[in-house]
Structure 1
Amino acid sequence: MVADARGATPAGPRSAAVLGSPVSHSLSPVLHGAAYRALGLEGWTYERIECDAEMLPATVEGSPAHRIGYSVTMPGKFAALQFASTVSERARIVGSANTLVRHPDGWFADCTDVDGVTGALSAFDDLSASPSAVILGVGGTARPVLAGLAEKGATRVVLASRRDNAGPAAECGRELGLDVATMLLTDLALPGEIADAEVLINTVPEPGITEIVDLVSHARRLFDVLYDPWPTSAGAVAMAAGIPVVGGDVMLLNQAFGQVELFTGMPAPRAEMADALSAALGR
């Protein structure tokens, strides 16, 4: 069932957690902990739980009564969507969920990664109202990127992949109303497409991006979904060339705002969360 839902602030202390494998590096406890302190939610806690996709249903079903929600990182995002009783429309289109919220009748799934993308794109103060984009990579992260671009008013997007496997991501983009073109990363026309686009978005993880990092030099702006260590390979090329760069830390921060609001029913304390993330990253 598709739904659009917001949680209400529960009475008494509650807990939330991030599910993933590996999960020890997750900065979600930093962000959510800062939010709970700023909101005055005494006794609220947030923890990391090592959990792969196969373990997710049993883990969530066995949640303690005080557990209000979960942040979900890889490899559990597809399993989270399948497990949920109700899902948001954007999570359905994207095909994955990074957020599970406890409701009286079950678990609601959403994809606040889309908010992360729109927040990162908004960090470019001169982006047009209908930005064109090239996305490097067609894996799971490419789909919320497409949804974020659609929310920002984009029309044409180029998906560039190592193999001829862009079909599922392209279908997602077209369902979102985007004009999607696909090409290989080795296509000789790709540098020109990058130069014409308003923003280049990298979803290819290290070390794979190092093999094609010269493509970044053609960009007008770079949004790299990676953030640690910083600068990334792509970010370093852009910075050396004077190309405006937004890193994945901005996406991480903005996706957490939506999760906090779904878990607590209160506006996210954005400044306090941003300060906590900056301190954790040493920036």
Structure 2
Amino acid sequence: MSVERIPLAGVIGSPIAHSKSPLLHGHWLKTLGIKGHYIPMDVAPEDLENVLRTLPRMGFVGVNITVPHKEAAMRIADQVTDRATLIGAVNTLIFREDGKIHADNTDGYGFIENLRQNAPDWNPAAGPAAVLGAGGAARAVVASLLDAGVPEILISNRTRARAEALKQDFGTRVSVVEWVQAGNMLEQAATVVNTTSLGMLGKPELRVPLDGLQKGALVTDLVYNPLQTRLLREAEDMGCVTVDGLGMLIHQAVPGFERWFGQRPVVDAATRAVLLR
């Protein structure tokens, strides 16, 4: 007689106690009536490979990967998707039945789906996008914006070298703007994205001048604590369409959940409410 195994998944980072992923996946498991569990795991960098090789033998079907392991997990994986390779980091691992670790990055997918759900009239081809920041999140955003059909991306980062490295990887549709000139690039932008941690609770404010924002431009912030950042507040006052960062966190989780547990979860008001409690 075959015994039904309860599928296990989780999120690996260090620290991990702040992660909202267990709440999110727990909500979906419950609403879909799936017998499964999603567990936060604090794993030190030197233990990562050992842990990833052991989890499948314990009934794990996959895990999310967060800071500081997103690059290291990519090197450990047996197979990496093209988009994750381009971004240079992974956030979703699938443990296959043959024992192989399949790695993907769903951040860009989550970013675009959040815009499509919360700004359905957004047209990527309407004009250039201005991106603040050049870290891992920015790479995922740039890849997905180019894929969606944005004609040109202007990128500005406090450390110019990181922005230049990003331009080198993504090619001629990306231009670098000095951080002191970041406000100027908003004047021609149809889409504006903050991928930095500036404006987050406990971090310095985003000091980029916003008077160049175009009325009707789409402005989004990956920061979701607070939900309404100064950038979003001021953009709204100037007649821009604004989308907060919480939806990206939710949407990026959908592909992993579907692969691990066999059902596609719905992103609705109840899902958001669970994370805002």
Structure 1 CA distance, aligned partners of 2:198 and 2:185? 23
Give identity over the alignment, percent.
Answer: 28
8 Å Cα contact 2:64-2:93 kept in structure 1: yes
TM-score relative to the length of structure 1 = 0.86
Structure 1 CA distance, aligned partners of 2:240 and 2:22? 32
Q: Which of residues 212, 216, 237 in structure 1 aligns to 2:207?
A: 212
Q: 1:211 to 1:229 in 2, by over 3 A?
A: closer
**Residue 83 of structure 2: aligned partner:** 90
Structure 1 CA distance, aligned partners of 2:247 and 2:140? 15
**Residue 101 of structure 1: aligned partner:** 94
**Is it true that 1:200 corresponds to 2:192 in the alignment?**
yes
Structure 2 CA distance, aligned partners of 1:46 and 1:218? 41
State the shift of 1:217 in Å.
Answer: 5.9
**Residue 118 of structure 1: aligned partner:** 112
**Residue 166 of structure 2: aligned partner:** 169
State the shift of 1:239 in Å.
Answer: 3.2
**Residue 180 of structure 1: aligned partner:** 174
Q: Which of residues 13, 27, 47 in structure 1 aligns to 2:39?
A: 47
8 Å Cα contact 1:87-1:110 kept in structure 2: yes
**Is it true that 1:154 corresponds to 2:150 in the alignment?**
yes
Q: 1:54 to 1:224 in 2, by over 3 A?
A: farther
Q: Deviations over 1:183-229 (max 9, x none)?
A: 11102xx4342121111100111356625243376252211011012
Gap runs ≥5 in structure 1:
1-9
Give the secondary structure class of the aligned counterpart of 1:71. Answer: strand
8 Å Cα contact 1:213-1:233 kept in structure 2: no
Give the secondary structure class of the aligned counterpart of 2:210. Answer: helix
8 Å Cα contact 1:114-1:144 kept in structure 2: yes
Q: Which of residues 68, 73, 81 in structure 2 aligns to 1:75?
A: 68
Give the secondary structure class of the aligned counterpart of 1:210. Answer: coil
Aligned pair count?
265
Q: 1:275 to 1:211 in 2, by over 3 A?
A: closer
Tell me which stretches of 4 or more aligned residues in structure 1 moved more than 6 Å. none
Gap runs ≥5 in structure 2:
none
8 Å Cα contact 1:216-1:222 kept in structure 2: no
**Is it true that 1:239 corresponds to 2:236 in the alignment?**
yes
State the shift of 1:71 in Å.
Answer: 0.6
**Residue 138 of structure 1: aligned partner:** 134
Structure 2 CA distance, aligned partners of 1:92 and 1:267? 25
Cα RMSD for the two superposed structures: 2.2
8 Å Cα contact 2:213-2:235 kept in structure 1: no
